[in-house]
Amino acid sequence: MKILPRSFYERDPALVAKDLLGNMLVRRLRKHLLIGRIVETEAYYGENDPASRAYTGRKIFNELMFLEVGKTFIYMVHGNWLLNIVSHSSGGVGAVLIRALEPIQGIEIMMKNRKVENICSLTSGPGRLTKAFAITNKLSGVDVTDSNSELLIVQGVRENFEIESSHRIGVRRDLQEKLRFYIKGNRFISKL
């Protein structure tokens, strides 16, 4: 399994969000491995983006967005932990939100974590996938480019799919650009 290098994340968040589709999120849990294919993402910027956590400037709680790329940035919204990967061009600010996965391996464990029997709703949403993968703020700041991490991102097969974009979901004030990306026709995306 080839891990995506740090340089992958040192680009415009929208590019990273798009290129992350089709790659694999790997969660190491004791002896178990949970694997999901990334099928939906959103890009967030810094001070010019009213929907961004970094909109109000650098604070302790959003500091990770200003720091080294390739690490997780995790926060809670409405009782759900949401997983982001810090991504920005050198010296910039930003992150990519992972919004949906296609379950690949460890499905029984995911089901136990979420107690649903419908596979389609197992990881099809930002709060759902963190629950299925047992991701909380304890994993905040983890380096997804390090093979020793409990959470990492490895290269997947990026063939035979089309990428669709739309406006970001659930944000109060969105930007003009379409910053949500997903694999067209995939049944595990959170919303058409």
Partner DNA sequence: AGGAAGATCTACT
Partner DNA sequence: GTAGATCTTCCTA
Binding site for DNA (CB under 7 A): 42, 44, 51-53, 56, 59-61, 75-80, 82, 84, 95, 97, 114, 116, 121, 125-128, 137, 168-172, 190
| Residue 75: CB minimum distance to DNA, A | 5
Nearest CB to DNA, comparing residues 107 and 116? 116
Q: Which residue has the tokens 């500091």?
A: 63
The phi, psi pair for 66, rounded to 5°, reads -95, -10
Residue count of the chain: 192
**Nearest approach, Cβ of residue 39 and DNA (Å):** 13
Least distance CB 76 / DNA (angstroms) = 4
Pick 97 or 151: Cβ nearer DNA: 97
| Nearer to DNA among residue 23 and residue 190 (C-beta) | 190
Question: Nearer to DNA by C-beta: 23 or 41?
Answer: 41
Minimum distance of DNA from residue 177's CB (angstroms): 14
Between 23 and 124, CB nearer to DNA:
124
- Classify 160 in phi/psi space as left (phi over 0), alpha (psi -120 to 50) or beta: left
Tell me how far, at minimum, the Cβ of 183 lies from DNA, in Å.
17
